[in-house]
Chains A and B, each alone.
Chain A
């Protein structure tokens, strides 16, 4: 990967409609599936929102809803992470 690859960041907005959840965070390859890295913010309609900058390419991710790994029903793809869990896929171009 060259330096231009790293500079090629795009803002991506994630929305999770877990309206009854106490906490939701975004986990994925881009934060090493770290639950503390990207906590999502609850909106007035009780959905959860977060914008993150991601590199060009395809990223595996999921929502951690009250500690439980949850697929994004709006995701463009579905795959498995390195642990074999089903996760969502987002393209960034």
Chain B
């Protein structure tokens, strides 16, 4: 625990607020935040490919801040005796990034910790780039994604966008796409119908883990309630409410690969999480409205029907016996 605290706080005193030194002509820099996989894969080839990119970013200090890698303390303890992990951590991860260790209830808390730390080191023109670590970067599709990810923060900088969502194109039968079609969007249309339509004008993958976000927008989101999961959906809702500038950019295409299957249990968990977040977020925004309780009960009843229907469809498509 002491080590975790030390790791978290070590960088803060060194963080120089860049706002005071910024000039009107200064171009912002990009802060890469890598989310280290919660479960360490046996094969390091994907992470090796990812950290080759991180090394290049670390070497280009005119455009990029020192990358941050967020590592869950549970991962640390699970791998504390693993020599291969310790070597990779020391020789690769720590060499090319500052490691932020934190106890996190879920991945989105890792996002919050990493983006929060980067934000405290950043300035008003800067952009924060989230890079999920648990992707098959060593594969053909992974290399394609790695080659395009840098576009996300560049788009935010060049086109003065508030958020750029990276989207991986999939076919309609990919399980993530099915979950978004029958779960995410179906529930969004119930709780936030107008905003859901606006989000879908940009993306079919509102739960994407690939995104870049501008300093001011990140400040707004960080100072509001952060959810432990489905935070991308919440950010997109905030963006639509506040009329932020949203861009979607394709970072890869996995429609021709045979993978993309998830268990029904996983689909169920994801849909239930989405519903929980949307319910909480709706209440948060509606508490000041007279009669919100009655409206909530109506929406909740519909939401349950939608969730049940969505899960029935997903169960049928998964081919699993419940």
Contact = CB atoms under 8 A, between A and B. Distances in A.
Interface string A57-91: 11010000000000000001111100000100101
Given A77-B249, A79-B246, A89-B249, A58 B201 contact: no
Contacts of A76: 249-250
Interface string B228-251: 000000000000000001111110
Nearest to B151: A91
Q: Which of A60, A80, A86 has the most CB of B within 10 A?
A: A80
B250 A80 contact: no
A57 B248 CA distance: 16
Interface in A10-63: 57-58, 60
Interface residues of B, number: 15
Contacts of A60: 159
A78 B158 contact: no
Interface in B184-202: 201-202
Contacts of A77: 151, 155, 247-250
Contacts of B154: 57-58
Contacts of A57: 154, 158
Q: Which of B154, B158, B159 has the most CB of A within 10 A?
A: B159
Contacts of A86: 201
Given A57-B158, A60-B159, A86-B201, A78 B151 contact: no
Contacts of B158: 57-58
B113 interface: no
Interface residues of A, number: 11
Contact of A58 (B159, B245, B246, B248): B159
B151 A79 contact: no
B161 interface: yes
A8 B154 CA distance: 17
A28 to B, nearest CB: 12
Contacts of A80: 245-246
A58 B153 CA distance: 11
A79 B161 contact: yes
A78 B159 contact: no
Given A79-B246, A89-B249, A58 B155 contact: yes
A79 B239 CA distance: 13
Contacts of A79: 155, 159, 161, 245-248
A64 to B, nearest CB: 20
A69 B154 CA distance: 25
Interface of A: 57-58, 60, 76-80, 86, 89, 91
10 closest cross-chain pairs (CB), A and B: A77-B249, A79-B247, A76-B250, A78-B248, A58-B155, A58-B158, A91-B151, A57-B158, A78-B202, A77-B248
Given A57-B158, A77-B250, A89-B155, 16 more contacts: A58-B151, A58-B155, A58-B158, A60-B159, A76-B250, A77-B151, A78-B202, A78-B247, A78-B248, A79-B159, A80-B245, A80-B246, A86-B201, A89-B249, A91-B151, A91-B249
